Structure 1
Amino acid sequence: MPSPVPVTRLLPRDIYPSTDIGVCSSPLAARLSSHGSALQVPAPRFHGKVSSRLWSSVIHWKELTSVQPVGSGGFGSVYRAEYLGETVALKKVKKCSKNKLASRQSFWAELNAAHLRHANVVRVIAATAHVPAELGDEGAAGAILMEYAGGRNLRQVIYEGAEVEPLPEDRWLGFARDVARGLQFLHAHGVVHLDVKPANVLVSADDVCKVADFGCSVRLEGDVGPLLSHVGGTYTHRAPELLRGQGATPKADVYSFGISLWQMITRQEPYAGDRQHVMYAVVAHDLRPCVRSHPAFGTEQGRRWRTLLSRCWSGDCRCRPSAQELLPQLEQRKS
């Protein structure tokens, strides 16, 4: 669960919610409540009927059919469903009884990239903070309808198929380029993901990767994001400056990308041991995943990836490449 941050970091200026948002009010609907009218945001239609550049603050629940669970975790639950004739993913964000504000902010953060469209970022179709009681989800902070980007995430491809599913260099390079393109686009539009890891990258049937799960993300109003009072995201992929309590920048995502790239190359877990010990060692002793003993880094090409990794997870964020700078290096082919 991400730590509470100012609402102004989570949504564009034209859709800030009021400070008194009410129990079930949508952050978008609050903007127009004083006008006594419904929010005039056209729902996206499929098959080119209406432009999908805008998303809706209304989910037509009666149009949602064939709902099947896909997975669940600390964030809530994800389902596959049919909506207006298309296959979609439904994500219900869990309401945390101990920190309701953090739950709502996690839901709002999920919408940070809702107004953006890119081939390597999961597209939001509709979202609402009101989930009907008849669905048995009184504990949901909100629900989000997204494009269905595939039934697997990158972590499953890396680990669960290790014995039967090859992951040669050409394939993981394609995955890495997709993720880097998605991050480049997000950063160019002032969104920092802050939880980049294989489990948060969906893989389509055509092996196209899409960055997903924006519950920890922030919107930048300058070069540096807010100071986070608690460590959110996933500790194995968390940049050391964030562990020290410094502000978020796009370079934090590049650090996480580096850890994820190492996982793609080695198909191993980055760290073993106690969580607190790992976090301390990352900050105080520059602990990083091992590249010396793994055979993948022993070749001439492997040494090039080793150099790239060392730059991505540098303890000094100023030494890390930007997502845009990553792409030319990932596009180089083995001679």
Structure 2
Amino acid sequence: MPSPIPLARFLPSVEIRSYNSSPLVLSCKRGPFASSPPVRERVLPPRLAWCSIDWGEVQILEPLGSGGFGHVYRATYRGETVAVKKVNRCVKNRLASRQSFWSELNAVQLPRHPNLVKVLAAGPCGPGDAEGLEAVIMEYAGSSTLHHAIYNCPGSDLGFARCLTYSRDLTRGLAFLHAHNIVHLDLKPANVLLARRGPHTCCKIGDFGCSLRLHLLDPGAATGLTGGTYTHRAPELLRGLPATRKADIFSFAITLWQMVSRRVPYEGVERQCVIYAVVAYQLRPTLSDPIFSAPNSLGACFRGTIERCWAAQPEERPGAKCLLEELDNIQDSENQAQERCSTPDLPVY
């Protein structure tokens, strides 16, 4: 959930539009009497009418979780199991919640991708829902997250193979988003779902509540953004500079560090101290643990990748496509090493 958005971001007219791509329109209509106050309707613009929610096709099955924005439910929609995220009408920060809703719709027109949670429909809550404000319907990818796999499974080890697989999944998802001019801006383990795909588990990037469409941005309007998670936020964004694709690469580096170390970044350090040190002194999570320095260790294999991806200057970080090629090369080398180990030596005569 993004942080509060300044009121200056919004136009002072009856149509409220976000600085990035806000598809929600608030239209003012008078009641039956001239003296009656305006009645506001929440509708999607014509270009997004196809993704409006048909609440007659929604069947809520069970709650999945809740937060400051509202609640998430498992449900069925047009014969498909889905997740329904409802924004509460009484949410404390309605501007932030509405901005999150608009940002979620940045992904609504994207084709399906195996490493992204597909947004299926969105719009105002049903007429009989007194508590809900807006809702987003997404594909159901399960309830297990990468955060749970890292921190809530004591005694287990993600291991080199799984870290590499998950890293490639995340990079594929980012490369797809970036190719469509969308930056996620809140990549972290809690926003990565672990979905079953046959006998294997794959990562799906979800929660587009901080995302931006780059080609719709006014560079001046993109500065000073306050959404996202400060532990994973690129230093240029903390300085108030415009968002670019390389901001997601920085977040990927912190996430990969978490997979390898299984530690919380900047644990015990106050938020403001972290933000200042990341910007002013290039503070990063520690790489001094033995796992990052021992020869042939899990961390040693990924250390160079992590350091390149969290470089202070965005232009020094690899793009998602180049990063994926790098990880694919690591996977190819690993496969070749396994083949050599499994091939018996032929006898010499």
Runs of 4+ in 1 over 6 A off after TM superposition: none
TM-score (norm 2): 0.80
Partner of 2:307: 310
Q: CA deviation at 1:16?
A: 5.2
Judged with a 3 Å threshold, the aligned counterparts in structure 2 of structure 1 residues 9 and 330 are, in CA distance, closer, same or farther, namely: farther
Match of 1:205? Answer: 196
Please give the TM-score of this superposition, normalised by the length of structure 1: 0.83
1:158 partner amino acid: I
Give 1:171 deviation, angstroms.
0.9
Q: How big is the shift at 1:76? A: 2.6
Output the CA distance in 1 between the equivalents of 2:88 and 2:130: 12
Task: Name 1:274's counterpart in structure 2.
Answer: 270
Q: 2:116 aligned with 1:121, yes or no? A: yes
1:248-296 C-alpha deviation (Å, 9 max, x unpaired): 0000000000000001111111112211111111111111111122324
1:91-106 equivalences in 2 (<5 Å) = 91-94=85-88, 99-106=93-100
Report the CA distance shift for 1:137/1:239 in structure 2 as closer, same or farther (over 3 A): same
Alignment of 1:80-91 (within 5 A): 80-91=74-85
Q: Matched residues, percent identical? A: 46
Q: Distance in 2 between matches of 1:137 and 1:222?
A: 32
Q: Residue 126 of structure 2 is aligned with which of 107, 120, 132?
A: 132
Which amino acid in the other structure matches residue 271 of structure 1? Answer: Y
Quote the residue 2:33 is aligned against. none
CA distances 1:45-68 after superposition (whole Å, capped 9, x unpaired): xxxxxxxxxxx21x2223222421
Residue correspondence of structure 1 range 286-297 to structure 2 within 5 A: 286-297=282-293
Partner amino acid for 1:251?
Answer: K
Give the whole-Å Cα distance in 2 for the aligned partners of 1:93 and 1:317.
34
Amino acid at match of 1:288: R
CA contact (8 A) 1:192 1:217 kept: yes
Give ranges in structure 2 of 5+ residues lacking alignment. 11-16, 29-38, 338-349
Tell me how large the CA RMSD over aligned residues is. 2.5
The whole-number CA distance in structure 1 between the counterparts of 2:81 and 2:325 is: 35
| CA-CA distance at 1:133 after TM superposition | 4.9
Aligned residue in 2 for 1:188: 179
**In structure 2, C-alpha distance between the alignment counterparts of 1:63 and 1:249, rounded to whole Å:** 38
| Aligned partner of residue 290 in structure 1, secondary structure | coil
1:284-330 deviation line (CA, Å, top 9, x unaligned): 11111111223244224633411111111111111000111111221
SS at match of 1:221: helix
Of residues 234, 253, 257 in structure 1, which corresponds to 2:252?
Answer: 257
Provide Cα deviations, 1:2-47, integer angstroms capped at 9, x if missing partner. Answer: 4355746533xxx955685784412325x69xxxxxx4x2xxxxxx
Q: Partner residue of 1:247?
A: 242
Which of 142, 145, 158 pairs up with 1:167?
A: 158
Q: Which runs of 5+ in 1 are unaligned?
A: 33-38, 42-55
Q: Confirm or deny that 1:10 pairs with 2:47.
A: no
User: Is 1:9–1:220's contact at 8 Å kept on the other side of the alignment?
Assistant: no
Distance 1:61 1:19 in 2: 20
Residues 224 and 247, structure 1, Cα contact 8 Å, conserved in 2:
no
Q: 2:68 aligns with which of 64, 74, 88?
A: 74
Query: In terms of Rg, which structure is larger?
Result: 2
1:149 and 2:141 are equivalent in the alignment: yes
Deviation at 1:182, TM superposition (A): 0.5
